[in-house]
Amino acid sequence: MTGISKLIRVGVLLSLLVAASSVAAQTYLDLENQVQEFTLDNGVKFIVLEKHDVPVFSFRTMVNIGSANEVRGITGLSHILEHMAFKGTPEIGTKDYEAEKKAMAAEDVAFLALKAERIKGEHADPEKLAALQTAFDEAKDAAREFVVTNEFGRIIEENGGKGLNASTSSDVTRYHYKFPSNRLELWAYLEGSRMSHPVFREFYTEKDGPVTEERRGGVDNNPIGRLLEIFQNQMFMASGYHHSTIGYLSDIENVSRQNCQDYFDKNYVGSNMVVSIVGDVEFAEVQRLARKYFSGIKRGHPEPVETFEPKQLVEKRLVMRDPAQPVFIAGYHIEDQSHPDWPVYEVIADVLGQGRTSRLYKSLVKEQKVAVQAATFPGYPGSKYPTGMLIFAMPAKDKTGYDLEEATYAEIDRIVADGITADELQAVKQRARANFIRGLRTNGGMAEQLATYQTYSGDWSEMFRVVESIEAVTLDDVQRVAGEIFVPSNRTVAIIETDEDAS
């Protein structure tokens, strides 16, 4: 329930971001003027939009931390931490916190002893290993005795919370649900407590159970998930986008509760946190409750990411032989979303591969009938750092990824050589306007955008500038940027070649 299918849904998410990023600013100044904000002393930023038509509100807590912040050994930890944020606090989810704390400490000791032996691999002593495993299982059971299972979630649900969930991406971690508006204080208490002093109870059961099953379901047992992970590994060799958000299995196995606590202490700090609330709330009341319940969050000094992807010099290709049906993926390196060319990427992605009138759909699906689906996403796997423009296509029956590859490059080459037409550019701008307005209609959608723009660009009001930025794109921009990014040496290609006998 918590978490998200990182690899695949990131694409969808980004397309939502793209869809959202467009405004007829002059018309919506009014809405923009209704947005209010404040910052707590510890740096937590609150953005509030009052809408009183229905007595409910939606919120997003967005933490400026994702798997791109992880280093080797702790891959997948941002996501594990997201799961752990549902396990309660010293007050919520325990029968006796003082006793539980001791039991968890014993559990940690047993885990580290087990890990130390297990990590020897073939050289591990089987008898010792079995004994350590038993000791660890017993310690785990002992700690579990103090747990009130899922009390945190239960409180939310019995008070009418809906859509309780969270997700982690390469860039950020987000938490959300919607609540009846008379429960604002309860919300503030619950959210403030878990963001200030969560307790990572059931840590080992959670990561070895649900988190590992999530990896199995989304990656290991899903051919496209599997391909996307390897694709990402290949396309990004150095940057934090190298590994998937779900992380490597061995890291999930070996990471300890202390690792998680350290990661939390370093990153879940005020300056990394944005909370947006949209709905039937009073700004002054939000302010009062925020001070009361969110002040326990530390101010902190998060470390910026230091490793960036070097320029790619050679084309990379990988072929996965698998019983599954074929797919074709190509990724081109592009800059991050604060780069002035970002709106141009969005225009290119739209014209190339979004909708029934896009170049790829018209050519590959309608005319040549080699594909049944062809789509483009700017910003895979994230957009906070220099990233990728992804092309994803599924061949028609009995066609191969190679059939599509050629046809795709032909369309790309046309854009590089001739650019796009004025009509196409005009249509992109019109779609951007319409999609932007559609994105304003729900409390959840508004909260998501306010938090996203605040987190990514440091200013929520940027969300109201995005249509302008698309409006400013010219035909020359498109051709210039297409020429820069669509070169073979900037490309990573991944293909599934169907082979019934492969395993």
Asked if 158 interacts with other proteins (CB under 8 A), we say yes
How far, in Å, CA of 28 to CA of 264, rounded?
38
Site string for other proteins, 83-122 (x = CB under 8 A): --------xx----x-------------------------
Q: Which of residues 268-297 bind other proteins (CB under 8 A)?
A: 280
Q: Which residue's CB is nearer to other proteins, number 221 or number 474?
A: 221
Residue closer to other proteins by CB (options 3, 240) is: 3
- Residue with token string 């969005």: 346
Sites for other proteins among residues 296-315 (CB under 8 A): none
Q: Which is nearer to other proteins, 221 or 489 (CB)?
A: 221
* Interface residue with other proteins, options 338, 430, 474, 489 (CB under 8 A): 430
426 binds other proteins (CB under 8 A): yes
Residues in the chain: 503
User: Which C-beta is closer to other proteins: that of 4 or that of 334?
Assistant: 4
Binders in 187-216 for other proteins, by CB under 8 A: 189-190, 202, 205-206, 208-214, 216
441 is a contact residue toward other proteins (CB under 8 A): yes
Classify each residue of 257-281 as buried b or exposed e, where b means 16 or more C-beta atoms within 10 Å of its C-beta. bebbbebbebbbbbbbbbbbbbbbb
Instruction: Provide, rounded to whole angstroms, the least separation between the CB of residue 439 and other proteins.
Output: 10
Stretch that binds other proteins, among 48-56, 168-176, 379-387, 457-465 (CB under 8 A): 48-56
Q: Restricting to residues 13-32, name those near other proteins by CB under 8 A.
A: 27
Task: Give the tokens for residue 278.
Answer: 């949209």
**Taking contact as CB under 8 A, which single stretch among the options 185-193, 308-316, 334-342, 452-460 is the one that binds other proteins?**
185-193
Binding-site size, other proteins (CB under 8 A): 85
Q: How far apart are CA 311 and CA 308, in angstroms?
A: 9
| Spatial distance between the Cα atoms of 65 and 388, rounded to a whole number of angstroms | 19
Half-sphere exposure of 501 (CA within 13 A, CB side): 0
Return all residues near 196 (Cβ < 8 A) that are at least 6 apart.
Answer: 294, 296, 297, 298
Report the site for other proteins in 67-86 (rule: CB under 8 A): none
Smallest distance, Å, CB 302 to other proteins? 29
Pick between residue 358 and residue 455 the one whose CB is nearest to other proteins.
Answer: 358
Question: Buried b vs exposed e over 141-173: b needs ≥16 C-beta within 10 Å?
Answer: ebbeebbeeebbbebbeeeebeebebbbbbbbb
Residue 217 is a binding residue for other proteins (CB under 8 A): yes
* CA 377 – CA 429 distance, rounded (Å): 17
- For other proteins, give the closer residue by CB, 155 or 230: 155
d(CA 54, CA 182): 12
What letter would DSSP give residue 94? B
Which CB sits closer to other proteins, 108 or 309?
108
What letter represents residue 73's amino acid? G
Question: Helices then strands (H, E): number in the chain?
Answer: 20, 11
Residue ranges in 159-178 that form contacts with other proteins under rule CB under 8 A: 159-162, 164, 178
- The Cα–Cα gap between 310 and 28 comes to 41
